[in-house]
Amino acid sequence: MPKPTTVAVYLRVSTADQSHDSQRSEVIAWLERQAIDPARVAWYVDTESGRVASRKELDRLKTDVEGRQVKTVVVYKLDRLARDMLDGMELVGTWCKAGVRVASVTQPIDLSGTVGRVIAAVLFGFAEIEWTDRKERQAAGIAVAKSRGVYKGAKPGYRKAKPARAAALRAQGLTVPEISAALEVSERTAARYLAAPAD
């Protein structure tokens, strides 16, 4: 019979140009404060949008929880599990009902039982609102850029946002928010691209 993992950590970023490092360091610090050895924890790491319900590592975590291998799930933030309110509520609700503790490092909250399910519902609701608002701001930024005639869209065959592309858009007169919308990355990532030295 497999040995119980007890504590599992789930990390997620949305795109390949983002790093899990900041989430990992925050979680490790939290684990150490809880006197939990990070080396003895099971790590589940996805690079996928939170709007996608089926993710390889999340699915593996679900299987391990169902198999009673996991007693505590630790996340950097609750919306790492899901950005859709109903999916998130169902997932956390199922875990809480099964007696699994869900801990969010940066919120910070501990979810268990009925109260935990109620708190999770509220937080997932806010996460979905935030996601929708961001998409609306991105769409508005692209619309403004197009109206100014400075946004031409990605070139055929272009797949990844790169510093050179960000610099080219900047040269066309786009602002950082408009560049982040055009490249479908966060404003912080867009600013990092612009600060990167030219090849």
CATH of the domain at 187: 1.10.10
Q: Are residues 192 and 112 in the same domain?
A: no
Segment 120-159, tens digit of pLDDT: 556 655 455 455 555 556 666 666 666 776 655 555 434 4
Residue 31 lies in a domain: yes
Rounded mean pLDDT of the chain?
Answer: 76
- Whether residue 91 has pLDDT greater than 50: yes
Q: Are residues 14 and 109 in the same domain?
A: yes
**Model confidence, pTM:** 0.58
How many structural domains comprise the chain? 2
Range of the domain at 184: 149-199
Segment 11-31, tens digit of pLDDT: 998 877 778 888 899 999 999
101: CATH: 3.40.50.1390
* pLDDT top residue among 174 and 34: 34
Q: Are residues 109 and 169 in the same domain?
A: no
Task: Give the Cα separation of 117 and 111 in Å (integer).
Answer: 7
- Quick one: tokens of 81? 């599990």
Cα separations in angstroms, 148 against 128, 168, 171: 31, 16, 14
175 alpha carbon, distance to own chain's centre: 25
Q: Are residues 155 and 119 in the same domain?
A: no
Q: Are residues 107 and 182 in the same domain?
A: no
